[in-house]
Amino acid sequence: MIGVGATPARGWGGLMIQADPHTPVSAVRPRVLVVEDNDAASRGLARLLEIQGFEVVTFQDGGSALRAFESEPPFDFLLTDMRLPDLDGREVARIAREQLPPPRVALITGWDPDPDPGSYASWGIEWVFTKPLDFSKLVSTLRGASSPGPGASPTPGPP
């Protein structure tokens, strides 16, 4: 259960949401690790996700992203570009899925996706999004995602 309290907001007629201090941050704001070597794309995606209520950490190379798994609290999601300066995004995904708890993984690519969705599953990739990115579909997918149960295998391929 997410502990939130709503109070009337002034000036715009909406509600302000206050998180219960005893509720883990990731329960309120899912944590997303974005790995994208294009600085403008990385910052833009991070900002859009933050506006949608996600906590976002960004890196521009695979090695730095993998080190973040050792030093940061667990991530709920990994969004990685396929072509990175130092590693293939699929390799980042494969290593990330070995973390406990493992993040849910989406590959973002400007290249044609592999027609065999099973090839993505072997890397631990659940979703593939092509560029230009359909942001509303990405957010809908992330919001609708729940952690797989023990022994569950991800459903690969485009959402």
Q: Is the pTM of this model over 0.75?
A: no
**Architecture of the structural domain at 25-144:** 3-Layer(aba) Sandwich (3.40)
| Structure-block tokens of residue 155 | 């459903």
The pLDDT tens digits for 9-37 are: 322 222 222 333 444 444 579 999 999 99
How confident is residue 148, by pLDDT bands cut at 50, 70 and 90? Answer: very low
The pLDDT tens digits for 43-102 are: 999 999 999 999 999 999 999 999 999 988 999 999 999 999 999 999 999 999 999 999
Nearest Cα to Cα of residue 159 among 92, 104, 91: 104
Nearest Cα to Cα of residue 85 among 130, 41, 45, 37: 37
The answer to whether 81 and 36 are in contact (CB under 8 A) is yes
* Angle at alpha carbon of residue 141, lines to 138 and 147, rounded to 5°: 130
Residue 42 has pLDDT above 50, yes or no: yes
Predicted pLDDT at 68: 95
Q: Which sequence spans correspond to the domains of the chain?
A: 25-144
